[in-house]
Amino acid sequence: MKTAVIGAGIAGLAAAVRLAVAGHTVDVYEAAAGPGGKLSQFSLPGGYRFDFGPSLFTMPQYVDELFALAGEDPRDHFNYVLLEEVCRYWWPDGTRFQAPAATADLVREAANTFDVSEDRMRDFMSAAARKYELTGRTFLEKSLHRLDTWLDPQVAYAMLKIPGLDLFRSMHEVHAEALGDPRLVQLFDRFATYNGSNPYKAPGLLSMIPHFEHHFGAYLPTGGMYDITQGIYDLGRRLGVRFHFNQRVDRINRAGSRVQGIRVGATDLDYDAVVCNMDVWLAYDRLLAGAKRPEKTLRQQKSSSAVIFYWGLDRAFHELGLHNIFFSRDYATEFGRLEAGNLADDVTIYVNVSSKLVLEDAPPGHENWFVMVNAPAHAGQDWDQMTAELRPRVVAALEKHLDPGPSTHWLEHHIRAERIVRPPDIERLTGSHQGALYGSSSNNRMAAFLRHPNFSRDIEGLYFLGGSVHPGGGVPLCLLSARIVADLVAKS
């Protein structure tokens, strides 16, 4: 069976591997010069390497199983380390908290730092675990758009438990009741941003997200996040997958209600199946002219985007860890401004420093900072002005946290290299509609069911995967979308 994969993002790479293992002849077409999509890399002058996008690695078993399917030992090709500390948190009132990875340690340290008992913290984390056990495998690892899913006894059991899954309360409401301390509530509210959502609107079911980090663990590939892309890409090549870079697909060809292949430039290429790793909104807009559009799905609220400052610094900051969050004073106002398409005056800042563990990512005594601020999706805003106003606020906030003394503007003097990426840049570079990092948001309780299915209901032989479709964005879910698609193709 000849199969074309459109897009060499992480989901497209994983699907290519799975289909090749299943005996398909697989061609991957990618408009960029190399693989990875958001999970790519680049360097800045002075010896600073950066992972372009995702910086947190959870559920590594989803990568390992690709090698196992191919009959290979993943440790021969892809390795990672378990983090003992997940993140360092900073609040404007001076509170600092280093979150241990293990749940038992997190419970103890949270009780020592915040106005919460160990029992209360333990109950909260246990509730997160129960939500995952009830719904994770059911709703993340299977298509929600096929009858056989809903006939599964496990799914029926999960549906009976809906009243206890907090679908009718927001994440913030769940956290406020369970934890009390506003600082701790803010810490757990921020997990809504893992899929580009608003904790004041996203359903309380998503309070299970911390379970991924603190039960299954947080990791870092030994050479940085791009190792994930490189490892799966190399595996695909060993399996005979053919990659065509700098090859933009212009159309998905159809014969009646059946996929026929793709058009690249002026050339029509026949395939038995087409797997689309392109943002689903852009796929309908650019590749499926004349096809019936699922308007309700495509009109869903977009997830958040980001403004990212990549900085090469000529000194090291021992106060920082691999992952760092500097919180704003007023989270509700910050998300309200995002919902209105703007940036707040006081923003939460995420700083990732991969050179803390991947020493070659910066020269000795230097650091590579990935500095990210949540931003609205691109809808015609003046990003030049917004970024020009944002940058000095970010610098000043970091200076205040890292050196609360009277000196100012000292951080600027240590920035030796810089690249700035904004929502329209993300759209242009990664093909994410409006620069939305996760496709649609999860700001209503039906969001999971409104995501586009992993197959076309109208065009036989056409499949969809990646962050803009079920089960959602982020590395683990993109890898699961590849598994779902491979299973659907096998059943076709």
Helix (H) or strand (E) holding 2: strand 2-6
Alpha carbon separation from 72 to 77, 207, 290 (Å, rounded): 9, 36, 43
Rounded Cα distance, 353 and 398, in Å = 14
Res 166: pLDDT: 79
Residue 14: closest CA among 80, 76, 59: 59
Q: Is the pLDDT of residue 382 over 90?
A: yes
Q: Is the pLDDT of residue 363 over 90?
A: yes
Residue 167's pLDDT band (cuts 50, 70, 90):
confident
Residue 25's pLDDT band (cuts 50, 70, 90):
very high
Rounded Cα distance, 436 and 193, in Å = 12
Place of tokens 């983090």: 83
Rounded Cα distance, 375 and 307, in Å = 6
Supply 332's token pair.
């509700």
Calculate mean pLDDT across residues 27-35: 97
Place of tokens 């290429």: 269
| pLDDT tens for each residue of 275-327 | 999 999 999 999 999 898 988 888 888 999 999 999 999 999 999 999 999 99
Strand pairing partners for 251? 263
- Residue 45 has a CB neighbour count (10 Å cut-off) of 8
Q: Could you give the 3-state DSSP secondary structure of residue 241?
A: coil
Backbone angles phi, psi at 267, to 5 degrees: -110, 130
